[in-house]
Structure 1
Amino acid sequence: MHLSTLLDNAVRSAGDREAVVHRTQRWTYREFADAARRAATVLREAGLRPGDRLAVMTYNTPAFLFAAFGAWYAGATLVPVNHKLQTAEVEHQLRHCGAELAVVDAEIAERATAADVPVRWLVSHPDAGAAERPAEAFESLVAAAEPWQGEQGPDDAVAQILYTSGTSGRPKGCVHTHRGIALTATYTAAGIPLHRDERFLICMPIWHASPLNNWALGTLLLGATVVLQREYEPREMLETIQRERITALFGAPIALIAPVQSVPDFADFDVSSVRAWIYGAGPLDADTARRLMKAYGSDDFHQVYGMSEMGPVGSSLSPAEQVEKAGSIGRGGIPGVALRVVRADGADAGAGQTGEIWLRADTRMTGYLDDPAATAEVFAGDWYRSGDLGRVDEDGFVTVVDRMKDVIITGGENVASQEVEGALRGHPDVLDVAVVGRPHAQWGETVVAVVVPRAGAELGLAELRTWLEPRLARYKLPRELILRPELPRTPSGKITKHVLRDELAVGSDSSG
């Protein structure tokens, strides 16, 4: 299915139902599709042609969805851009994907448009009323345009390029077709499952693969309602749940933990409408799961596991398994997905054994953009090699015990350790460095820099963070600095990060 057909079908079956809600703004399916077609006209008049790439760098606002579906109606490819990136990072991503047109939120426009790339920027003013918006604002242009009436493209055309951090430290672009993404939405809706009367809260960044493809598109597929929270904030999440009678939401574990810990009047909010508390990018231990169930007055918690290369799809841990199998990602794949744990000898891992988690589904990316070597490395026939090491228990449940890739997942954000290391090596007082994750009950992991300083130099965490701030997004900055006279290495000279991770897991007394 082409993604424009996904929306057209929803219009036919649910035309007068609420499709998208953002604060006080509301669109029915008929109104939303009309705006998306008008956006397609705006994009075509700005020079976007079939096969071109449209970069979109916004918060969770209607402009993101208008631009996405506008691009798909116009036959172009969507490239979601992390709104937290610094100028140099934006520049690299836009150069790599070859985008010549982009939509950006006015609040972050200066940081984005400073990138030295030949891109035309359309600026979104999501919170301004029609009378206050500039005439050249993306929303003003959409309102004035005629709906696009072009023909739908083939479902094997490229729909998205999703950027993800890899072991090289540079983001790689996962290339996905319309059919693959439509199947991602379908498998997700069947696997949780989602319902036609859903009011799904998107509070995690919509440019992430899961909020966009699993939850926003899975909800729209059914003709249900997507409620956008501009940016995650614990109290606002509770307020939105109560005001909009939210029935389901997704977040990193910290997104569910933070309201309980940081909102003093948490108990005064009515969250009884939520029937599915969905979390991913890390597990919950049994004690935390129990505390959250008690706090939210619900045992309907679901953990999901997947990655951008797969759509993302993978496995899930059902509500009944949250405590008994806490820490596990489930047993097998969700509907439409096959999951194996493969030992080094190529055989499937049995009870008590560990191996690499492999996934197979028709949602899998066609490959990494312009990187055939990296693509070949992660494909094994029809299977995607996740790079995650999983241990199988006696009941067939799989627990992720380590990552073969040195990617740190903190608060749901992927941080490539080698990217941070590369930036730190530019500091004049850093002689050697390794960046690893320390397990953290709320964030999953925190970023730790283990540094060998130049002789005679005095380094502090605050100084290094200040030096890194213009170079990296804030979530990539180390939260802890450990000074060492040397780093542990193999005989061939490679840093043994597993040794550092093991030490950090039990604490360290050499923090700087």
Structure 2
Amino acid sequence: MNLTWMLEASARGCGEKPALVSDSGSMTYAELLAASKRAAAVLRERGVRPGDRVGVMTYNTPAFAVAAFGIWRAGAALVPVNHKLTAHELAYVAGHAKLRVAVVAEELAGRVREGAPEVDVLITDDTGGGEFDRLVAGAPEWEGAEVGPEAVAQVLYTSGTTGAPKGCLHSHRGLSAVPAYTTAAAGLRREDRFLLAMPIWHASPLNNWFLSMIYLGGTVVLLKEYEPLAFLEAVRRHRVTAFFGAPIAYLAPLKALPAAGAELSGFDLSSVRLWAYGGASLGAETVRTLEAAYGPDRFCQVYGMSEMGPVGAVLRPQEQLAKAGSIGAGGMPGVDIRVVRDDGADAGAGETGELWLRSGTRMLGYLDDPEATERAFAGDWYRSGDLARVDEDGYLFIVGRIKDVVITGGENVYAPEVEEAILRYPAIRDAAVVGRTHPDWGETVVAVVEADAAVTLAELRGFLATRLAKYKIPRELVVVPSLPRTPSGKVQKHILREQVRTGP
């Protein structure tokens, strides 16, 4: 089992079919395979060997696909890097992953060189004139290095409650199963034209959707970056049949259209048969709004996490209203799910427990963090940290998180990381970060602080601008005399969440 096999199979079966479509043109499966072999040769010339880790920090462009399959063909591990990270955040990821080489979009190279000057940066640009693009164009094709199915194929960075990002180690065998499970759950087809507008370095766009299209021999339409009206135009122009995004990706156009003096009816979206979403469940009112706008019986929720590939549960189109707010009943094909009470027994109807998942897609563990790995695993099971309630029909509803994380617009914001940055502000002596429900973003980041002097939200956001990615920076600030704590000194975040729940 090797991820390069799925590209080879599709190139053999439909070599002249477009694999990738973007503003720069299209690339067939045969062309993508050949380019990946040349990319592997380029990486070998730069000293990359089997087992090394190579970063890719780009937008949604063909270069990401060429680099990814080139990395795997070279026997190395792909490290997809969040292009929103600051230089400070990049320094940690590059150092922790021990990146040898990174393929980086021209617009992002300055940040990478500032934060990780030790990394050999290969530039790619939209015109094909970057060093990486030129080297790949002129390199010989290389069949690559042989690695076993348990070799690490990908290091996906997430974070734990300590605030330090963790690298989820995924094998070729595990990731090779993700497309099969996703395809079965979402009903993807070979004839699909999938619009990839969410960041390709995210676990779900990359592994659930991009790899599934390569596995099937479908076509991936690449939108460099999501923008509400550009998203609608891409669907219309390319006759897209399937799309995945956080709920805000569907809600944002409904607000942007009136401001632009446009109407949704001006965009022909009739080609779409699947609107997939994840990162947050939808309430009944939101489902009705979206189905009225985008069409009924087309929405499908996929729940998962980086540690699982990501795979998990699915809420199908016919269940969206009847079970609004649920993530589905049990696991998607290939995934076993339990809801475990504090006493270790399975939760029954009306009961709440921690969501555990088991699948062949589960990560091997966290990079260089055996203690966190041990805490995350219970035998073959992955302990998600999500608290779920089981209803009388067996459907699961996420009611909270053991993990200290806020999900805003589909992005995971890990409270300890933000708190650590806030505490560097001179006037703040203590801080806690929580999420407050938001109708569009799922949650919004709220900072609750104790301060020795007056502090404003604008001042704090300005201070954090160079320390945290924009989506991690609090949008609300609450100053309190003291944070509520347990007798042992632990901040009682459930009290803070309740206090901010009815905020503005």
TM over 0.5: yes
Match of 1:491 in 2: 487
Find the residue that maps to 1:498 and give its secondary structure.
helix
The answer as to whether partners of 2:430 and 2:450 remain within 8 angstroms in 1 is: yes
Deviation, 1:263, is 1.6
Cα distance change of structure 1 residues 224 and 116 upon mapping to structure 2, 3 Å threshold: closer
The answer as to whether partners of 2:90 and 2:116 remain within 8 angstroms in 1 is: no
Find the residue that maps to 1:102 and give its secondary structure.
strand
Find the residue that maps to 1:42 and give its secondary structure.
helix
Deviation, 1:503, is 1.8
Structure 2 residue 253 is the aligned partner of structure 1 residue 259: yes
The answer as to whether partners of 2:40 and 2:144 remain within 8 angstroms in 1 is: no
Deviation, 1:152, is 3.7
Q: Which amino acid aligns with 1:409?
A: I
Find the residue that maps to 1:437 and give its secondary structure.
strand
Deviation, 1:149, is 2.0
The answer as to whether partners of 1:95 and 1:117 remain within 8 angstroms in 2 is: no
Find the residue that maps to 1:114 and give its secondary structure.
helix
Distance 1:479 1:115 in 2: 26
Deviation, 1:388, is 0.2
Q: Which amino acid aligns with 1:490?
A: T
Match of 1:281 in 2: 279
The answer as to whether partners of 1:49 and 1:76 remain within 8 angstroms in 2 is: yes
Match of 1:46 in 2: 46
The answer as to whether partners of 1:2 and 1:178 remain within 8 angstroms in 2 is: yes
The answer as to whether partners of 1:56 and 1:102 remain within 8 angstroms in 2 is: yes
- Name the TM-score, length of structure 2 as normaliser: 0.98
Distance 1:470 1:150 in 2: 40
Distance 2:326 2:498 in 1: 20
Find the residue that maps to 2:434 and give its secondary structure.
strand
Match of 2:457 in 1: 461
Distance 1:320 1:360 in 2: 26
Deviation, 1:451, is 0.8
Find the residue that maps to 2:191 and give its secondary structure.
coil
The answer as to whether partners of 1:353 and 1:392 remain within 8 angstroms in 2 is: yes
Structure 2 residue 181 is the aligned partner of structure 1 residue 187: yes
- Structure 2 residue corresponding to 1:295, chosen from 289, 293, 296: 293
Deviation, 1:317, is 0.3
Q: Which amino acid aligns with 1:51?
A: G
Q: Which amino acid aligns with 1:263?
A: L
Deviation, 1:222, is 0.3
Structure 2 residue 494 is the aligned partner of structure 1 residue 501: no
Match of 1:472 in 2: 468
Distance 2:230 2:215 in 1: 26
Deviation, 1:117, is 4.2
Distance 2:116 2:151 in 1: 29
Match of 1:210 in 2: 204
Match of 1:120 in 2: 120
Structure 2 residue 54 is the aligned partner of structure 1 residue 58: no
Distance 2:459 2:385 in 1: 34
Match of 2:147 in 1: 153
Distance 1:147 1:158 in 2: 23
Distance 2:77 2:287 in 1: 39
Find the residue that maps to 1:303 and give its secondary structure.
strand
Match of 1:358 in 2: 356
Distance 1:402 1:504 in 2: 15
Deviation, 1:118, is 1.7
Distance 2:429 2:273 in 1: 52
Distance 1:78 1:153 in 2: 14
Find the residue that maps to 2:115 and give its secondary structure.
coil
Match of 2:219 in 1: 225
Deviation, 1:151, is 4.4
Match of 1:174 in 2: 168
Deviations 1:375-429 (A, max 9, x none): 0001000000000000000100000000001111000111110111001111110
- Structure 2 residue corresponding to 1:392, chosen from 387, 390, 401: 390
RMSD (Å), alpha carbons: 1.0
Deviations 1:62-104 (A, max 9, x none): 1111110000011110000000000011010010011111111
Find the residue that maps to 2:447 and give its secondary structure.
strand
Distance 1:276 1:149 in 2: 36
Distance 2:444 2:495 in 1: 17
- Structure 2 residue corresponding to 1:423, chosen from 396, 421, 424: 421
Deviation, 1:476, is 0.4
Deviation, 1:185, is 1.3
Give matches, 1:443-458, under 5 Å. 443-454=441-452, 457-458=453-454
Query: Please, which runs of 5 or more residues in structure 1 have no aligned partner?
Result: none
Structure 2 residue 239 is the aligned partner of structure 1 residue 245: yes
Deviation, 1:24, is 3.9
Distance 1:341 1:380 in 2: 13
Give matches, 1:431-442, under 5 Å. 431-442=429-440
Deviation, 1:484, is 0.4
Find the residue that maps to 2:176 and give its secondary structure.
helix
Find the residue that maps to 2:327 and give its secondary structure.
strand
Deviation, 1:138, is 1.0
- Name the TM-score, length of structure 1 as normaliser: 0.96
Structure 2 residue 365 is the aligned partner of structure 1 residue 367: yes
Give matches, 1:318-329, under 5 Å. 318-329=316-327
Deviation, 1:153, is 2.3
Distance 2:234 2:272 in 1: 11
Distance 2:143 2:421 in 1: 47
Find the residue that maps to 1:328 and give its secondary structure.
coil
Deviation, 1:213, is 0.3
Q: Which amino acid aligns with 2:490?
A: K
Deviation, 1:493, is 0.8
Distance 2:488 2:67 in 1: 50
Deviations 1:446-503 (A, max 9, x none): 000001111xx11100000000001111100000000101111111110000111122
Q: Which amino acid aligns with 2:41?
A: T
Find the residue that maps to 2:346 and give its secondary structure.
coil
Structure 2 residue 97 is the aligned partner of structure 1 residue 103: no
Distance 1:503 1:188 in 2: 39
Deviation, 1:262, is 1.3
Distance 1:55 1:201 in 2: 24
The answer as to whether partners of 2:22 and 2:62 remain within 8 angstroms in 1 is: yes
Distance 1:253 1:115 in 2: 32
Q: Which amino acid aligns with 2:32?
A: F
Q: More deviation in 399-408 or 290-299?
A: 290-299
